[in-house]
Amino acid sequence: MWQELLQQIQQGDVKALARSISLVENELPGYETLLQSLPVNPTKIIGITGPPGAGKSTLVDSLIGLLVETGKKVAVLCVDPSSPFNLGAVLGDRIRMSDWYTNPNVFIRSLATRGSMGGLHPKIIEITDLLKAFKFDHIIVETVGVGQSEIEIAGLADVTVVVVVPEAGDEVQTMKAGLMEIADVFVVNKADRPDADTFVKNLRQMLAPSFSKHYNEVPVVKTVASQKEGVAELLDIITHQLQKSHTNDKTFWLLAERAFYLIEQKRMKDLDKVVLKKEIEAMYQKGNFNLYQFIADK
Do residues 205 and 88 share a domain?
yes
CATH number at residue 207: 3.40.50.300
What angle, 0 to 180 degrees and rounded to 10, lies between the N-to-C axes of helices 249-268 and 149-156? 110
Residue 120: helix, strand or coil by DSSP?
Answer: coil
Do residues 136 and 169 share a domain?
yes
pLDDT at 114: 53
Do residues 93 and 125 share a domain?
yes
With beta carbons less than 8 A apart as the criterion, state whether 58 and 228 touch: no
Residues 6+ apart with CB under 8 A from 73: 105, 106, 107, 135, 136, 137, 138
pLDDT at 212: 47
Kindly report, residue by residue over 195-218, the tens digit of the pLDDT: 899 888 888 887 776 544 544 578
Do residues 140 and 13 share a domain?
no
pLDDT at 106: 94
Structural domain tally of the chain? 3
With beta carbons less than 8 A apart as the criterion, state whether 143 and 153 touch: yes
Kindly report, residue by residue over 104-122, the tens digit of the pLDDT: 999 998 886 554 444 567 7
Is 251 domain-assigned?
no
Q: How far apart are CA 192 and CA 79, in angstroms?
A: 27
Written as one letter, the residue type at 164 is: V
Kindly report, residue by residue over 159-168, the tens digit of the pLDDT: 999 998 887 6
- Averaged in consecutive runs of 10 residues, what is the pLDDT profile of the chain (298 residues)? 88 94 90 90 90 88 95 90 45 58 89 55 86 94 68 81 80 59 89 90 76 64 95 96 77 79 81 91 90 88
| Beta-bridge mates of residue 143 | 49, 79
Is 28 domain-assigned?
yes
Is 128 domain-assigned?
yes
Do residues 1 and 47 share a domain?
no
pLDDT at 78: 86
What angle, 0 to 180 degrees and rounded to 10, lies between the N-to-C axes of helices 2-10 and 124-134? 60
Is 62 domain-assigned?
yes
Q: Could you tell me the pTM of the whole model?
A: 0.81
Do residues 27 and 127 share a domain?
no
With beta carbons less than 8 A apart as the criterion, state whether 130 and 39 touch: no
DSSP-assigned letter for residue 210? G
198 φ, ψ to 5°? Answer: -65, -40
Written as one letter, the residue type at 241 is: Q
Q: How far apart are CA 158 and CA 44, in angstroms?
A: 6
Do residues 86 and 232 share a domain?
yes
Q: Where do the DSSP E strands lie in 116-199?
A: 138-144, 159-164, 185-188
Nearest to 109 by CA among 241, 238, 20, 227: 20
Residue 281: count of CB within 10 angstroms of its CB: 10
Q: How far apart are CA 207 and CA 183, in angstroms?
A: 10
Q: How far apart are CA 237 and CA 185, in angstroms?
A: 8
Is 48 domain-assigned?
yes
Residues 6+ apart with CB under 8 A from 128: 45, 77, 139, 141, 156
Domain extent for 285: 257-296
pLDDT at 175: 58
Q: How far apart are CA 234 and CA 224, in angstroms?
A: 11
Do residues 98 and 114 share a domain?
yes
Q: How far apart are CA 196 and CA 207, in angstroms?
A: 16
Is 110 domain-assigned?
yes
Do residues 177 and 263 share a domain?
no
End-to-end CA distance of the chain: 36
Residue 222: count of CB within 10 angstroms of its CB: 20
H-helix or E-strand containing 47? strand 44-50
